[in-house]
Structures are given as structure tokens and as C-alpha cells.
Amino acid sequence: MTDPKKSQIERISDLFAVPDALPTRITAPLRRMAPEQWSARLAELLPVLVRAGLRDETADVRRWAVLVHVVAVLSGTTHDAAHASSRRTGAVIFEAGYSEARLSKLLSARGDGLRDQVARLARFLRARGAQPLDLRPLARLVLAEGLDERAADAARLDIARSYYASADRAIKETSE
């Protein structure tokens, strides 16, 4: 089921998008989980990570927990696809009505604050039916923040560029 050529976030999304791939006793707690309660949900988290191919014993499970939570939220109870490579992160966020101020807050957040903002973003997008979107920049940001700031910055820029490109297109269309 899992494609070895795909990134781990894509494989996690695939798992949640297929009915019966994961039992409800796994998906529901992960969907309802608060990111800071990740340690209480290891029994649900670890099987998902293992099935997605994460073998690295040094992996920061706390960071992966919020990413799994994001996928669970976006997928919902209807097994919607959370990830689509062609739908640029920033563009989807903009079109969903996510304000520039909230974007700024997301991209300037660090540590637990970032994980909290990412979780809020997922709920925002799900509420507006904006999924799927390219989750890879968000994944890179969450995994690199505080460890590899160049990579984290590149991810932030990736999200910002597609956000502002959409904003500028909208401005142009409005003025024409």
C-alpha cells in the first residue's frame, strides 16, 4: 500500500485516505488529540508511523505527532485526501481565507507555538473544506524548525511565496 518513492507525509496521508486502512480506534484519538498530549497517544501514533515507513529511532515523535494529527484532521471521518502535491500550500491557505496576520503568526512561530499554529491551521482548513493541499512544506517546517533553520526558512518561504502569489493574482483580478 505505501509507495516507497513517496515522502513520509504523503504515505501518512495515503493511510488515512483509504477506508479501513486504519481502524477508527486509531484515527479518532489522533484526530481529537491536542498536540501537547502526544505522549499519551503513543499507542495510536507509533503504528501509523511504522506503517508509513518511519524507521529512524532518533525521530522526534513529538514533531511527527502534530503532522499525523494534521492529516487526521484534514482527512476527517470521511477519509478525504489530506495531501495533493499539485495544490500549493500557500495558495490553498489564501483561497481558504486565512488572513495575512494569521499567516505571519504561523510562519514566525517556534517550538510548541508552531505546532499549535499548525494544528489550528488544519482545523481552519477542514472547516472550510479546503483540503487537500501540499503538506510537504508544512512537514519540512515542523521537522526542521529549531534544528535546521535554513531548511525551515526555505519551507516558510515556500509557503509565503505561493500565498502571496495567489494574493497578487486576486488583487490583479479585482482591479481589472
Partner 1 sequence: MIITHLDRAGGVRETDLFGTFAALSRDEVEDFPALRAHQRHPWHAFTVQVAALAMLRADISDPPGDAEGWRGLLHGLAPPEAWELVVDDWSKPALLQAPGLETGLRHTGKRATTPDAIDMLLTARNHDLKGARMADAPEEDWFFALVSLQTQEGQMGAGNYGISRMNGGYGARVALSLRPAEDRPGTAFRRDITRLLALRPQIERDAVSLGDVALVWTLPWDGTSSLPFDRLDPWYVEICRRLRLVREDGRIAALLANSKMARIEAKARKGVTGDPWAPVEADGSKSWGVSSQGFNYRKMVDLLDHEKIAPAPLARPAPEDGVAGLTLRAAAVARGQGKTEGFHERHIRVPAKAVGVLGAGDRLGTIARERRARAGEAAVILRHALRMLAQGGPEKERADDDVTNARIARFERLFDRAVDGAFFDADFWNHAAETGDTDEHWITWRGRLADMARHTFDEAVSAMPRSTLKRLRAEARGRSRLDGCLKRFRNPHAETAGAKP
- The answer to whether residues 13 and 82 touch, using CB atoms and an 8 Å cutoff, is yes
- Round to whole Å and give the CA distance between 154 and 140: 9
Taking CB under 8 A as the rule, does residue 161 contact partner 1?
A: yes
Residue span binding partner 1 (CB under 8 A) among the ranges 10-18, 47-55, 66-74, 158-166:
158-166
3-class state of residue 46 by DSSP: helix
Q: How far is the CB of 59 from partner 1 (least distance, A)?
A: 27
Please report the DSSP string for 56-98 in residue order. Answer: -TT--HHHHHHHHHHHHHHHGGGT---B-TTS-HHHHHHHTT-
Q: What is the largest CA-CA distance in the chain?
A: 55
Tell the smallest beta-carbon distance from residue 166 to partner 1 (Å): 11
With binding defined as CB under 8 A, does residue 160 bind partner 1?
A: yes
Q: List the interface residues with partner 1, window 98-127 (CB under 8 A).
A: 100, 104, 107-108
* 96 secondary structure, DSSP code: T
Provide, rounded to whole angstroms, the least separation between the CB of residue 139 and partner 1.
18
- Which of 10, 123, 157, 176 is in the footprint of partner 1 by CB under 8 A? 157
For position 164 contacting partner 1 by CB under 8 A, the verdict is yes
For residue 21, count other CB atoms closer than 10 A to its CB.
16
Residues that bind partner 1 (CB under 8 A): 100, 104, 107-108, 156-157, 160-161, 163-165, 167-168, 171
